[in-house]
A and B are shown apart, each in its own frame.
Chain A
Amino acid sequence: MSATPRPAAPRAIASATAPNLARDRALFKNFVRRELFARYLGSITGLAWAFVHPLALLAVYHFVFTTVFRAGAMNGKSFLAFVAVALWPWLAAQEALQRGTVSIAGYAGLIRKVAFPHELIVYASVTATFVLQLVGYLVVLAVLALFGEPVHFEGLLLALPLWLLLAVAITGLALGLAALQVFIKDIEHILLPVLMILMYLTPILYPLSLVPESVRPWVAANPFGYLVDRLRDALLDGRLALRWSDGIAIVVAVILFAGGRWIFLRLSPHFEDFV
């Protein structure tokens, strides 16, 4: 321990976020385990649900879009594959944001009594969601391939880094929203309709080419639209070449993360009074 005295505020922040990496890693693992356990891995059929749930969802989409709406081929791919490739990252982002935003309240007992870096809570919440959704995604891709859809598995070389990028950006947003939620309880209620609207404004259930020319630039400017586009390129067409926009996406993700974390670290020393 350093012998130089430090002013109070930095000390408290230091004690909560000092690079005690071994401790923080153990704590993070414990939190992630706790998050996974709290969802459904604790039940008897536990892990099976992680597979059954996405498959059930896929079957429902198949029924709705292919059987009921009789949606035809989309840019030469089956509609189901076209939607599935884009929908799971969206579900991951949506669930991670919603759970991440309210994650702090679940740890109120700890926050009031123990000093630890509060950001670990949000990291654990987002990580648990992404791990489960990514597992579901891989299962869905495997099942699609099994039913003869042309899935390019080499596209995962690009798709997995894209997921990582998404996770980084969503973590940043979740950090900011989680910190605000502690003080302003309306955040979680505003979030649901906003996410709903965003989903329909993103070319997930439809291709960008169907959007009228006049509004297309607006829809195309949606950062999530970029991600969807790139995932379809990689997994359905096997196109892996990097683009300039990938660099921009990295910058955006890093800025979102840094901004969200800045808000979180500004507000987290005061959580104890409000959780």
Chain B
Amino acid sequence: MSGPLLHLSGVGKDYAKLDTDAARAKLVFDLLRGRGVARAFCALDDVSFDLAAGESLGIIGENGAGKSTLLKIIAGVITPTRGRVDLRGRVGALLELGSGFHPEYSGLANIDLAAALLGLAPDEIDAKRDEIVAFADIGDHIRDPIKHYSSGMVVRLGFAVATALRPDLLITDEVLAVGDESFQKKCIAWMENYLTGGGTLLLCSHSMYHVQKLCRAALWLKDGRTARYGPAAEVAQAYLAYHEEKSAGAKRPIAAPKAKAEGFYAIRSIALDPPGRIAAGGSLAVTGEIYSPDDRTPVVLIGLVRADGTPIYGVASDMDGVTPVRVAAQRFTFSLSFPQLPLLPGKYVVRAHALDPEGVRLFDNVEQAFIVEGATRELGLVRIGHGWNGAVPH
């Protein structure tokens, strides 16, 4: 086999907007004539990616971003309106709760049904049944109708069935969120083992921890479109930063009066070097210009905050006993560098404030965002030097 196991190009899905019976009748008529949906809501648009055998991709995004629609298209449950999906191999899909169980039937009967749906021959089913029952580990409940199961038990059984097949591509949608701690561990152990054994995984999760732990790459869907696609750590960090910004957006206090008018000390410009993106552990320089209405030397305060506004570090020129440089009447410049910035990958903001020469009154607040890039699974904001004592490397 050559080429990727799964290839998507320009995939999109429209859903019909139907509010009346007449609209439904018209839709049927249009479909029979081989036409598309007339009034449509676009749930997914222009999604493209490749997934090679043995790789793992995490799908992340807010509720309603189109994650489940995308997974269902890949699983073949729904037909995409646009674009193209090429899939080579056997798919095991765990979409939402329970991969197509019938509520009236017992766990055992549902194992048979699920196995038949997945294309197992009857003798194969017999061989796998015990394995499935053992993995699900729900005791005698296996003989009860599924409708009496808790959601956790349904997921256990669903996962056990989907994994027993050893599919070429395993699609899971939020399954890890439901199981209890020990079952989650079992699932993650199974998935890691499956990945090590050359399996391919498509994981949809709200847990960036799981995505970063299990997936090499990630796709961030936003309003049905690809917001970002790349290495899992990078995309997960961008996604988290987006959420931090979003939650901070509503409550961000005005740190200082917007004192742009003449007569106040003001930051005229700031620039970052390198601009926008730096590598984790790299250096960052902040330069800028301050306006001083009375030509006295102002104080500049530079702060580093996380995208949601959490302060990390701040330092003013007068604390270090330095002053901005006067370059012309009423114009001063400053330049500050952070060698080996210890920030962990993520989205941050540099804040520059202009203060009066006494360093007492704060006049202006200018922000410049930047991103720290890197692939690390360390948690938090800054890297703190550390060493394990007596530990053995593996």
Q: What residues of B have a CB within 8 angstroms of the CB of A184 in the complex? A: 21, 24-25, 28
Which of A7, A22, A272 meets B78, CB within 8 Å?
A: A272
Q: Does chain B have a CB within 8 A of A13?
A: yes
Query: Are B31 and A270 neighbours in the complex by a CB distance under 8 Å?
Result: yes
CA distance A15 to B7 in the complex (A): 15
Q: What residues of A have a CB within 8 angstroms of the CB of B32 in the complex? A: 263, 266-267
Q: If the complex has contacts A20-B119, A184-B24, A270-B31, are A5 and B77 also in contact, measured as CB distance less than 8 A?
A: no
Q: Does chain B have a CB within 8 A of A110?
A: yes
CA distance A266 to B79 in the complex (A): 12
Which of A34, A38, A115 meets B75, CB within 8 Å?
A: A115
Question: Would you give the shortest CB distance from A6 to chain B, in whole angstroms?
Answer: 7
Within 8 A of B (CB), among A12-60: 12-13, 15-16, 20, 22-23, 26-27, 29-30, 34, 38
Question: When each residue 210-235 of chain B gets 1 if its CB lies under 8 Å from chain A and 0 otherwise, what string results?
Answer: 00000000000000000000000000
Interface residue tally for chain A (C-beta within 8 Å): 40
Q: Does chain A have a CB within 8 A of B1?
A: yes
Question: Would you give the shortest CB distance from B159 to chain A, in whole angstroms?
Answer: 14
CA distance A134 to B289 in the complex (A): 93
Which of A16, A26, A34, A183 meets B76, CB within 8 Å?
A: A16
CA distance A13 to B79 in the complex (A): 8
Q: Does chain A have a CB within 8 A of B11?
A: yes
Q: Does chain B have a CB within 8 A of A241?
A: no
Q: Does chain B have a CB within 8 A of A180?
A: yes
Q: If the complex has contacts A12-B76, A12-B79, A183-B24, are A114 and B117 also in contact, measured as CB distance less than 8 A?
A: yes
Query: Are B113 and A30 neighbours in the complex by a CB distance under 8 Å?
Result: yes
Q: Which residue of A lies closest to B89 (CB)?
A: A1
Question: Would you give the shortest CB distance from A239 to chain B, in whole angstroms?
Answer: 42
Query: Are A23 and B119 neighbours in the complex by a CB distance under 8 Å?
Result: yes
Q: Does chain A have a CB within 8 A of B96?
A: yes
CA distance A186 to B22 in the complex (A): 12
Query: Are B7 and A5 neighbours in the complex by a CB distance under 8 Å?
Result: yes
Query: Are A113 and B93 neighbours in the complex by a CB distance under 8 Å?
Result: yes
Q: Does chain B have a CB within 8 A of A216?
A: no
Query: Are A114 and B99 neighbours in the complex by a CB distance under 8 Å?
Result: yes
Q: Which residue of B lies closest to A268 (CB)?
A: B79
Q: Does chain B have a CB within 8 A of A8?
A: yes
Question: When each residue 102-113 of chain A gets 1 if its CB lies under 8 Å from chain B and 0 otherwise, what string results?
Answer: 000000011111
Question: Would you give the shortest CB distance from B356 to chain A, in whole angstroms?
Answer: 64
Q: If the complex has contacts A27-B117, A114-B100, are A11 and B34 also in contact, measured as CB distance less than 8 A?
A: no
Q: What residues of A have a CB within 8 angstroms of the CB of B122 in the complex? A: 26
Q: Does chain A have a CB within 8 A of B64?
A: no
Within 8 A of B (CB), among A169-221: 180, 183-184, 186
CA distance A167 to B249 in the complex (A): 65
Q: Does chain B have a CB within 8 A of A257?
A: no
Pull 5 A–B residue pairs with CB atoms less than 8 Å apart, ordered by A: A7-B84, A22-B121, A183-B28, A184-B28, A272-B77
Q: What residues of B have a CB within 8 angstroms of the CB of A183 in the complex? A: 24-25, 27-28
Question: Would you give the shortest CB distance from A263 to chain B, in whole angstroms?
Answer: 7
CA distance A26 to B79 in the complex (A): 24
Within 8 A of A (CB), among B62-82: 72-73, 75-80, 82
Q: Does chain A have a CB within 8 A of B102?
A: yes
CA distance A112 to B96 in the complex (A): 10
Q: Which residue of B lies closest to A179 (CB)?
A: B28
Question: Would you give the shortest CB distance from B7 to chain A, in whole angstroms?
Answer: 7
Question: When each residue 257-275 of chain A gets 1 if its CB lies under 8 Å from chain B and 0 otherwise, what string results?
Answer: 0000001001101101100
Question: Would you give the shortest CB distance from A215 to chain B, in whole angstroms?
Answer: 33
Q: Does chain A have a CB within 8 A of B83?
A: yes
Q: If the complex has contacts A3-B2, A113-B100, are A267 and B117 also in contact, measured as CB distance less than 8 A?
A: no
Within 8 A of A (CB), among B107-145: 112-113, 116-117, 119-122
CA distance A267 to B30 in the complex (A): 10
Query: Are B119 and A6 neighbours in the complex by a CB distance under 8 Å?
Result: no
Q: Which residue of B lies closest to A4 (CB)?
A: B86
CA distance A240 to B282 in the complex (A): 94
Q: Does chain A have a CB within 8 A of B339?
A: no
CA distance A34 to B119 in the complex (A): 17
CA distance A87 to B82 in the complex (A): 50
Q: If the complex has contacts A9-B79, A269-B79, are A116 and B86 also in contact, measured as CB distance less than 8 A?
A: no
Which of B75, B84, B119 meets A8, CB within 8 Å?
A: B84
Q: Which residue of B lies closest to A109 (CB)?
A: B100
Query: Are B96 and A113 neighbours in the complex by a CB distance under 8 Å?
Result: yes
CA distance A269 to B27 in the complex (A): 13
Which of A1, A110, A111 meets B88, CB within 8 Å?
A: A1
Q: Which residue of B lies closest to A7 (CB)?
A: B84
Q: Which residue of B lies closest to A186 (CB)?
A: B21
